[in-house]
Structure 1
Amino acid sequence: MRTYLDAHKHSHLDALKEILRVPSVSTSPEHAGDVQALAEHLRNHLESIGLKKATVHSTPGHPIVTAEWLHAPDAPTVLIYGHYDVQPADPLELWETPPFEPTLKGDRLYARGASDDKGQSFIHVCALEAWLATEQRLPVNVKILLEGEEEIGSPNLVPFLEENKVWCACDTVLVSDTAMFGKNQPSITVGLRGLAYLEVHVEGPTRDLHSGVYGGAAPNPATILNDMLSQCIDLKTGKILIPGFYDEVIELTKAEQEALHALPFSMDTYTKAIGIEEVVGEPEYTVHERVSSRPTFDVNGLWGGYQGEGAKTVLPAKAGAKVSMRLVPNQDPQSTADKFKSFIHSIAPPSVRVNVINHHGGSPVVMDLTSDPIQKAAQAFKEVYQTEVFFTREGGSIPIIADFKRVLGVDSVLMGFGLNEDGLHSPNESFSIEDFYRGREVSARFLAHMASDGTEN
């Protein structure tokens, strides 16, 4: 197996580059054709390596790609999930290389989607290819499910799961869309925060107004919006001020706290890595706790008024913001969104009109780190990376993980190969070539271990 993987390093990398060249931006209608084209390309590739019934499924949005290999009687079934859509590349001027022309620089491959999630998902495709090419079989039954809407909240994936529950049935779901704890330090994510994502629109005058003629009397939607948002969080204490926000929050157990405290951490390294002087947030919690196990409130975007070069003295007629709240176990995305919406309307002055749009959300999830699939994933990581594996919680959200549990009744294995330095959702996103190569062997070994009853190594 390793001989085959070593011999096909370059062909696997070339195949990944071909996928990365497609601008499969799910948020942009102008890229709908690119998303469709990549779905068809993936179907053909899965078929070419020996998987069966490779299919592109139409949805009201972007397609879902599935394939299977179900010829391992009495062996477990692993559903491999990934997404082939990507975030927009904006702002383009901050990219040092073209976002959709994959570029090797040192030991990293730069392109939008290199890590999130084309590169990580393709690792498993390469592992399946290696098994089928060398053994003409897989050690377990495998189903592949690749979606094109993860970056917009997976609106059509849950209906697909519910309508195809029989086909989707499995013993565990394998997902690579997370990060390792650090370079050469593999980790398995056993907890994810949830998400509530909303948009706020504030309207005042019927048109932009001259600030010299109307300033001081006419309401300014930009100023009012910023004031309302500032009332949602106390920046000194890090506490979120939305009424009832913490009502459902479950505090970490002592054992969970100890596990987080045991993880190595350097404040100096952390602050230098992201170019800040000091951290913010709730001082009574460690940085690990703040970014993985505490809820948050963040403004993700603001607009209103003149944005061009030079000066233009106007009072904007409209202003807007995009807001996200990361949630922890027992918090409900819809309930949290409702609390935010109610609070914003309660503090809005009568001089403006306010509209709050709830875009999408996802529930938080925590997995049992002692489960058989997670332990076998750790074994595969340890064999390849030659070091102990950390079990961590991650601050990001993968809403579909909770849906897999709810609809299919199974937990997921979050086998991430990314690094925090990959720059997900940012200009100059990249992926470690070494981890791409090693990941293929980890995936291949995991499938082998899943076929074992645990009595042999």
Structure 2
Amino acid sequence: MSNNVLTYIHENRENHLNELIEFLRIPSISALSDHKGDVRKAAEWAVQSLEKAGLTTVELMETPGHPVVYGEWSSADNTHTILVYGHYDVQPVDPVELWDSPPFEPVIHDEKLFARGASDDKGQTFMHIKAVEALLKVNGKLPFNVKFLIEGEEEIGSPSLDAFVADNKELLAADVLLISDTPMLGKGRPAVCTGLRGMCSLQVDVKGAKGDLHSGLYGGAVQNSIHALVQLLDTLRDENGRIQVEGFYDNVIEPTAEERESYKNLGDYETELKDELGVRELFGEKGYTAREHTWIRPTLEVNGIYGGFQGEGVKTVIPSEAHAKITCRLVPGQDPDQISEFIEKHLEAHTPPGVTVTTKRFDKGKPFLAPTDHPAFKTAADSYEKVYGEPALFTRMGGSIPVVETFDQVLNIPILLMGFGLPSENFHAPNEHFHLENYDKGIETLITYWETVTFD
């Protein structure tokens, strides 16, 4: 990296952090309709930030849901283009009482920036904007053309983006797609992510009697909806974590023996994970390690269950209704619509007597696996190593970025997942934070990458 660019980054660090803090103050929670105005405000903020960075074309583009922010800088002298994807929406903050500081009042302590969206994904998207800004302000140009696509619905499954990408295929044409929305392997251990799990989600509604009943007058004669729901959910997995839904594993594409063997060289993850989570033992499907459980195996999880009386004290009722929320993380070969259908058939076949069961589908996304033979991947690994002093590893991630598979199918370009978060930074949970060490080194890594990237 040139000294002048590095000097620009260092001299403007405080101002840039203040800008990021301003961005993080906007409660752009896409899942909650009450925050629709805040989501738009965050989109408008991103537009202003891209304009300030020096992009020549910046536009707020409407969708059926929240708007997309598009930005571009190009030169007739450049023959290649990098497309950068990120999102400006964030997860809800519940349970808010578990936050040590208000989630939208960012604070810095212990060299960590605490706020909802600090790591996922406002902080990481912001780093790209500042890296481009530094190159443009110092050099007056870029060695390639750049496009930004920043959306506001990632945290609700990107329902508007598939159609947007298909409708704007030519506008988004590029040689490489670059995304920073994934974690590194650990502190000081950079990683290029080559695979993401997909997702499907359902709500299960169990209905018994027409209303709540007195447990003394009716108890023992009618089905209790909560008991029925618990019984039903218990049929989904066995005691070893194996999912019991017929057809669930049929199309799973297994990783190669070489890939599984490479995971053994990444360290003792089981001990590390137990220490991080504060548990005495782990749980997962037999025959696989904890790292494989989170990277290459599908899951079925009950994320929430509710029904009946939940206030203080006791109310002796037999609940009429009970509800559960289920999500599955899917691996290559699995289709979210097909898996949802399998689960619905299983629930229908195992419904206890005395109740009816209905389901409603929510977020979904297909899994993704990247080929790594494109030279952009080697440049990414080299850039990490130059800044962090450690070789970058090629890993997978257990989470999902629903639109990545759409990018892969529609744009047909290499997709580089080059993240700077840490697995322990509580994204989607209280006290989300971003280590400023990786904020600083991340910008330097991105600049190093953009100064050295090759496309052929």
- TM-score, normalising length from structure 1? 0.97
Residue 114 of structure 1: SS of its match in structure 2?
coil
Partner amino acid, structure 2, of 1:347: H
Please state if 1:324 is matched with 2:327: yes
Residue 303 of structure 1: SS of its match in structure 2?
strand
Residue 200 of structure 2: SS of its match in structure 1?
strand
| Residues 305 and 324, structure 2, Cα contact 8 Å, conserved in 1 | yes
Please state if 1:221 is matched with 2:243: no
Residue 79 of structure 1: SS of its match in structure 2?
strand
Question: CA offsets per residue over residues 145-187 of structure 1, 9 Å max, x none?
Answer: 0000000000001111111110011111110111000001100
- Give the gaps of 5 or more residues in structure 1: none
Aligned residue-pair number: 452
Deviation at 1:70, TM superposition (A): 1.3
Deviation at 1:213, TM superposition (A): 1.7
Please state if 1:373 is matched with 2:376: yes
Instruction: Report the equivalent of 1:117.
Output: 121
1:241-280 alignment runs, 5 A limit: 241-280=244-283
Runs of 4+ in 1 over 6 A off after TM superposition: none
Deviation at 1:209, TM superposition (A): 1.3
1:274-353 alignment runs, 5 A limit: 274-353=277-356
| Residues 232 and 352, structure 2, Cα contact 8 Å, conserved in 1 | no
Tell me, in whole angstroms, the C-alpha distance in 1 between the residues paired with 2:350 and 2:331: 26
Please state if 1:139 is matched with 2:143: yes
Deviation at 1:453, TM superposition (A): 6.2
| Residues 72 and 146, structure 2, Cα contact 8 Å, conserved in 1 | yes
Instruction: Report the equivalent of 2:425.
Output: 422
Tell me, in whole angstroms, the C-alpha distance in 1 between the residues paired with 2:76 and 2:324: 51
Tell me, in whole angstroms, the C-alpha distance in 2 between the residues paired with 1:370 and 1:387: 21
Tell me, in whole angstroms, the C-alpha distance in 2 between the residues paired with 1:198 and 1:405: 26
Deviation at 1:311, TM superposition (A): 1.3
Instruction: Report the equivalent of 1:404.
Output: 407
Residue 369 of structure 1: SS of its match in structure 2?
coil
Instruction: Report the equivalent of 1:20.
Output: 24
Residue 362 of structure 2: SS of its match in structure 1?
strand
Deviation at 1:375, TM superposition (A): 1.1
Identity of aligned residues (%): 44
Tell me, in whole angstroms, the C-alpha distance in 2 between the residues paired with 1:374 and 1:329: 20
- TM-score, normalising length from structure 2? 0.97
Instruction: Report the equivalent of 1:38.
Output: 42
More deviation, 352-361/145-154:
352-361
Please state if 1:77 is matched with 2:98: no
Instruction: Report the equivalent of 2:234.
Output: 230
The alignment's C-alpha RMSD in Å is 1.2
Residue 181 of structure 2: SS of its match in structure 1?
coil
| Residues 296 and 398, structure 2, Cα contact 8 Å, conserved in 1 | yes
Partner amino acid, structure 1, of 2:267: P
| Residues 178 and 418, structure 2, Cα contact 8 Å, conserved in 1 | yes
Tell me, in whole angstroms, the C-alpha distance in 2 between the residues paired with 1:383 and 1:11: 26
| Residues 140 and 448, structure 1, Cα contact 8 Å, conserved in 2 | no
Question: CA offsets per residue over residues 43-80 of structure 1, 9 Å max, x none?
Answer: 11211221022111111111110110011534321110
- Give the gaps of 5 or more residues in structure 2: none
Instruction: Report the equivalent of 1:60.
Output: 64
1:5 to 5, 9, 21: 9
Tell me, in whole angstroms, the C-alpha distance in 1 between the residues paired with 2:171 and 2:452: 23
